Amino acid sequence: MIDHKALEHIAHLAKLYVSETEAQEFASQLSKALGHFEQISKVDTKGVEPLVTPSEVEAYWRPDEVKKELTAEEIVANAPARTGNLFTVPPVV
Amino acid sequence: MSTKGYEAVIGLEIHAQLKTNSKMFCSDSTKFDAADNENTSPVSVGMPGTLPVVNKTAIEFSVKTGLALGCEIRRKSVFSRKNYFYPDLPKGYQISQYDEPLCEHGKITFKVDDVEKTVSITRAHMEEDAGKSNHFGEYTLINYNRSGIPLLEIVSGPDMRSAAEAAQYARTVRQVLRYLDVCDGNLEEGSLRCDCNVSVRKVGAEKFGTKVEIKNINSFRFVEKAIDFEIDRQIDAVERGEKILQETRLWDPDKNRTFSMRTKEDAQDYRYFPDPDLLPVILTGEQIEKFRQELPELPLARQQRFMTEHALPLYDAEVLTTERELADYFEETAKISGNSKAASNWIMTELLRELKNAEKSIVDSPIKPAALGKMVALIEKGTISGKMGKTVFQEMWASGQDPEEIVKAKGLVQITDTSAIEKIIDEVIAANPQQTADYRGGRVKLFGFFVGAVMKASKGQANPETVNQLLTKKLQG
């Protein structure tokens, strides 16, 4: 069950503002989703190794070589705010 | 160490920036002094739709470090996402390793005040670095050059009991990283970062106290100071009946104290889960064995060998193996000089002193090992005296010239020919009848006067040992 308090905690971690009505609504929606997983977790998985990835392909590791695709100007070009070639963001401290 | 019946429990998390050319998951350069956001790409600024691709060398460096720290290497380790929001982390998660790290269960041994100490390595896992924020009150500026640089986080067990042990542990880990050439170990530039977990408990208590994490420490000296401060602060708080908060504190080197930065989020708040963009890191036994074969000789082994192969005393062996480059320098010098102990003496006294005064590292020494080795050999052969050696050394330091050329140019050839020296002594005795009579009358202190006079007459070129021998004989009359 996701109660009001748990929902507020999740919203806080996700840096989301959730109104009182939304909180009610989301709590019941998330509880349903969680209930679904609870149902899945009833399956007996004794002796089954946890699955990290379903793909059996061999991992590709790239050689340690430097490549330059974009300039600093291009990287910051779409930023909502910039100072020179730095990203400008609201104060965090 | 205990104060007021308390003991400290200390564990360290060392973040080592791996010395790769490109980043952990993309091909951006890792060069330190690049222009703003110069070393970035869509992957490192977290643009949607980009995918990480593992850097092979980062894996190699991590495995080698794990092996050097006596760890077991997991054949299958998993990258996980550590979720939190901060502008220097553009994806909203850091790729790290969580429940299946690459390296586990290692240990490292070192000495603190001549007492051997072994500290366990709980784990060492791979992760990516975040960007850098600069705060300006009204706004914050972000540079993502560091975002995605490969890190190996080395976590010790809570095995240290004093600040001195913790600092020595950190120095030893740095030494191993530098021997492996996988991290340049520069605390000031941040290529090595050291977070200290400190708690206190009554001596004999089994349960740990609440731990506090100290960050922002950029020298080993500050590791020691910060931990000492924190131990005292916690003991005082407990004595006053206060509860220690689990929090992160920063070290303020100007005020010599730690201050609270934030109370710690619980581990599950990071909501770790396996990163679906990355496959597990699979290593075969052969691959791990190959990396093991490629490990260089490590500091302790090299120290032992310097004592057996070069017959150096423990102290010399310890000093000369502190840095791999210094140990290499010594071995090259010793080989050419033909006298390892003499080579060690010249390096440990003259060379290290000059380097320290000039704030140079051994790699930048104006005197190369081949030249110093040749100079020591000249002394060994008796071509020049030890005293002349000092003149030659100074000249080599200043001009970088070859010692043989300096000897030739300055006419610094030692006279070892007995008859030539005898002739000079005869002249000196003849020129100083009064002193000779006094000496023979019992004023043996005058011996020094005669040695000085003979050395002067020979323009400092007479072999001092031969002078001593012959003079003793001649003065007896």
Beta carbons of A64 and B140 less than 8 Å apart? no
Does residue A17 come out as left (phi exceeding 0), alpha (psi in the -120 to 50 range) or beta? beta
Minimum distance, in Å, between the CA of residue B129 and any CA atom of chain A: 17
pLDDT averages per 10-residue partition of chain A, 93 residues: 82 85 88 91 89 77 95 94 95 75
Q: Provide, as residue numbers in chain B, all residues whose Cβ is less than 8 Å from the Cβ of A76.
A: 37
Of B21, B36, B269, the CB nearest to A85: B36
Strand partners, B81: B95, B273
Beta carbons of B57 and A87 less than 8 Å apart? no
Residues B242, B352, single domain; the answer is no
Does residue B49 come out as left (phi exceeding 0), alpha (psi in the -120 to 50 range) or beta? left
Cα angle value A51/A55/A61 (rounded, 5°) = 105
Q: Are the C-beta atoms of B248 and B232 separated by less than 8 Å?
A: no
Beta carbons of A89 and B140 less than 8 Å apart? yes
> Which residues are within 8 A (CB) of B253 and not within 5 positions of it... i.e. 6 or more apart?
B218, B222, B225
Query: Rounded to an integer, what distance in angstroms lies between the CA atom of residue B169 and that of residue B69?
Result: 12
Residue A32, in any domain of the structure: yes
Q: What is the number of structural domains in chain B?
A: 3
Q: Provide, as residue numbers in chain A, all residues whose Cβ is less than 8 Å from the Cβ of B280.
A: 52-53, 59
Complete DSSP assignment for B72-106: EEPSEE-EEEEE---TT-TTSEEEEE-SS-SEEEE
Last residue of one domain, picked from the residues B409, B434, B453:
B409
Query: Rounded to an integer, what distance in angstroms lies between the CA atom of residue B369 and that of residue A89?
Result: 52
Of B20, B84, B139, the CB nearest to A89: B139
Residues B234, B347, single domain; the answer is no
- The phi and psi torsions of B59 (rounded to 5 degrees) equal -65, -45
Query: Rounded to an integer, what distance in angstroms lies between the CA atom of residue B320 and that of residue B329?
Result: 9
> For residue A9, what are the domain limits?
1-42
Q: Provide, as residue numbers in chain B, all residues whose Cβ is less than 8 Å from the Cβ of A89.
A: 87, 139-142
Beta carbons of A85 and B37 less than 8 Å apart? yes
Beta carbons of A61 and B56 less than 8 Å apart? yes
Residues B309, B380, single domain; the answer is yes
Residue A36, in any domain of the structure: yes
The two structure tokens encoding residue B420: 């030539």
Q: Provide, as residue numbers in chain A, all residues whose Cβ is less than 8 Å from the Cβ of B271.
A: 13
Residues B395, B255, single domain; the answer is no
Minimum distance, in Å, between the CA of residue B272 and any CA atom of chain A: 13
Residues B56, B170, single domain; the answer is yes
Q: What is the number of structural domains in chain A?
A: 1
Residue A7, in any domain of the structure: yes
Last residue of one domain, picked from the residues B263, B289, B315:
B289
Residue A50, in any domain of the structure: no
Complete DSSP assignment for B109-130: EEEETTEEEEEEEEEEEEEE--
Residues B116, B254, single domain; the answer is yes
What is the model's pTM? 0.82
Residues B312, B357, single domain; the answer is yes
Q: Are the C-beta atoms of B52 and B95 separated by less than 8 Å?
A: yes
Confidence (pLDDT) at B453: 87
Residues B52, B134, single domain; the answer is yes
Minimum distance, in Å, between the CA of residue A35 and any CA atom of chain B: 19
Last residue of one domain, picked from the residues B262, B289, B316:
B289
Residue A75, in any domain of the structure: no
pLDDT, one tens digit for every residue, chain B (477 residues): 447 789 999 999 999 999 999 999 999 999 988 999 999 999 999 999 999 999 999 999 999 999 999 999 999 999 999 998 889 999 999 999 999 999 999 999 998 988 999 999 999 999 999 999 998 989 999 999 999 999 999 999 999 999 999 999 999 999 999 999 999 998 888 899 999 999 999 888 888 888 999 987 888 889 999 999 999 999 999 988 888 888 888 888 888 888 887 765 544 578 899 999 999 999 999 999 999 999 999 999 999 999 999 999 999 999 999 999 999 999 999 999 988 998 999 999 999 999 999 899 899 999 999 989 988 888 888 788 888 888 888 888 988 888 888 877 777 777 777 787 888 888 888 888 888 888 888 888 888 898 888 888 887 777 778 888 888 888 876
Confidence (pLDDT) at B268: 55
Q: What is the ipTM of this complex?
A: 0.83
Residues B253, B129, single domain; the answer is yes
Confidence (pLDDT) at A7: 87
Beta carbons of B36 and A72 less than 8 Å apart? yes
> For residue B435, what are the domain limits?
418-475
Tell me which DSSP letter residue B415 carries.
Answer: B
Residues B40, B154, single domain; the answer is yes
Indicate which CATH number applies to the domain containing A10: 1.10.20.60
Residue A1, in any domain of the structure: yes
Sign of CA dihedral B152, B153, B158, B163: positive
Q: Are the C-beta atoms of B66 and B18 separated by less than 8 Å?
A: no
How many Cβ atoms are within 10 Å of B137's Cβ, its own excluded? 7
Residues B59, B104, single domain; the answer is yes
